[in-house]
Structure 1
């Protein structure tokens, strides 16, 4: 192991992100939420996911409903809402997060047509009997304990009528090294850099995620260093930049 470089051979499941601590500094936390869009725009690939997965679902009948689980600062559902509206789709998006701090930040942003935020767990919506055409999440799987991950996927199967798509970071030494160097001069006063590195350490490799994914889900690798879980398996989804795992 390179001096100063953590071992990435196994998941750092006991590492805690600073923003998840109940006593996290409120100003740094809000700045982190505000800067999420920069990181997600650079590495999360949601424009690609929208074009490849979400837009075909909405195009079937000119719109639909979408649930974003663990929406954090709200930048991903806001992007999806704008893209769908630009394409002429009438899409209703519900973005949920149980953290009152995340909910307060996202709810305080300027309203967008068809987008609403709610403080809730996915299990709350299952208990209410709600369903959506599409269920998504971004960079959330690595936060979950094993039982929580299984519960999320089970909830998703009940909530999603047409498609479930969970995107997360894939752990690798290259991802860690490049994120560490690329963010070094940026994001002062926020948790972006320190928590991003912790997230990579906590994340699954594609093989690890395949081992804990229940039957019926399709695991795909997507550049750069992203894992996708898709339900139900999508015909042709393992082409192009994606590679099937498991």
Structure 2
């Protein structure tokens, strides 16, 4: 049997009609093998570069807020190995724009691995979003990558409430959109990835745990917008209409930076 045929056969056995929240990703186990976990972090730049769509997030949502005169402060919640944070600051630097990302993860293993990969413009912290709220911190933009599907209902509600408090301008939680073709494609594509990591097993489990557009809309709090993007992406967005708590965005607006970014579906930030 060919790999493609085997993938189709295996895909048909998987129930993708609903979220499989009973699945636990291997990397979420505090007792998981550290070497395999670190190999998983090492694979994230490749995997996220192919599937996560941060180029589009940057172009459509972040770049209009950036300026060459003032620094935009972004909080990356649940940053894992920090690859998204590093990619964003490098892209902004290439465009001649000023961006600082604070990449936070309460998992000491993720923080330790990311901290060994310093990047100008990226600060790593081993804290939760709730701790930042308690400390009274705010940022211009709050983002996350592939975090929502990991969380149970209570944790998701807490992270979204924290995000609203922490963001002066915009929140972008980007995640996978569950679909049969996404599962099949990842099943095939991940065959070339490091088998000594968790990235293949956990990637397939992530798809099974992830939302569809209607499912995420049903649980999104008031004021949040859910946008489906191809291929197989979900954006959960929240805007603050008036940047009233100060910060780099207000200063850059005064310096002539764009005053608003058009959100998908007609919203503005």
**Interval of TM-score (by shorter of Structure 1 and Structure 2):** over 0.9
Deviation per residue, 1:37-63 (Å, 9 max, x gap): 111000101011111101111139543
Larger Rg: 2
Q: Which of residues 134, 153, 160 is equivalent to 1:153? A: 160
TM-score by length of 1: 0.92
Structure 1 residue 127, shift from structure 2 partner? 0.4
What CA distance in whole angstroms lies between the structure 2 residues aligned with 1:107 and 1:27? Answer: 16
Q: Does the 8 Å CA contact 1:58/1:89 hold for their aligned counterparts? A: yes
Q: Which of residues 123, 134, 142 is equivalent to 2:130? A: 123
Q: Does the 8 Å CA contact 2:69/2:98 hold for their aligned counterparts? A: no
Q: Which of residues 9, 12, 37 is equivalent to 2:20? A: 12
What CA distance in whole angstroms lies between the structure 1 residues aligned with 2:62 and 2:98? Answer: 13
SS at match of 1:162: strand
Structure 1 unaligned spans of 5+: none
Q: Does the 8 Å CA contact 2:100/2:121 hold for their aligned counterparts? A: yes
Partner of 2:72: 64
Does structure 1 residue 35 correspond to structure 2 residue 43? yes
SS at match of 2:114: helix
SS at match of 1:188: coil
Partner of 1:237: 264
Larger RCO (CA under 8 A, 6+ residues apart) = 2
Structure 1 residue 114, shift from structure 2 partner? 1.6
Structure 1 residue 68, shift from structure 2 partner? 0.1
CA spacing shift, 1:175–1:20, aligned 2, 3 Å: same
SS at match of 1:59: coil
Does structure 1 residue 44 correspond to structure 2 residue 55? no
Does structure 1 residue 90 correspond to structure 2 residue 101? no
Q: Does the 8 Å CA contact 1:168/1:227 hold for their aligned counterparts? A: yes
What CA distance in whole angstroms lies between the structure 2 residues aligned with 1:178 and 1:186? Answer: 13
Q: Which of residues 167, 170, 184 is equivalent to 1:163? A: 170
What CA distance in whole angstroms lies between the structure 2 residues aligned with 1:60 and 1:186? Answer: 38
What CA distance in whole angstroms lies between the structure 1 residues aligned with 2:53 and 2:149? Answer: 17
SS at match of 2:191: coil
Greater shift in the superposed pair: 122-131 or 62-71: 62-71
Structure 1 residue 3, shift from structure 2 partner? 5.4
Structure 1 residue 236, shift from structure 2 partner? 4.8
CA spacing shift, 1:6–1:215, aligned 2, 3 Å: same
Q: Does the 8 Å CA contact 1:62/1:90 hold for their aligned counterparts? A: yes
Deviation per residue, 1:122-160 (Å, 9 max, x gap): 000000000000100000000011111111111111100
Q: Does the 8 Å CA contact 2:68/2:97 hold for their aligned counterparts? A: no
Structure 1 residue 187, shift from structure 2 partner? 2.0
Q: Does the 8 Å CA contact 1:57/1:162 hold for their aligned counterparts? A: no
Structure 1 residue 238, shift from structure 2 partner? 3.4
TM-score by length of 2: 0.84
What CA distance in whole angstroms lies between the structure 1 residues aligned with 2:59 and 2:186? Answer: 26
What CA distance in whole angstroms lies between the structure 2 residues aligned with 1:68 and 1:236? Answer: 19
What CA distance in whole angstroms lies between the structure 2 residues aligned with 1:61 and 1:54? Answer: 15
CA spacing shift, 1:190–1:80, aligned 2, 3 Å: same
Q: Does the 8 Å CA contact 2:67/2:98 hold for their aligned counterparts? A: no
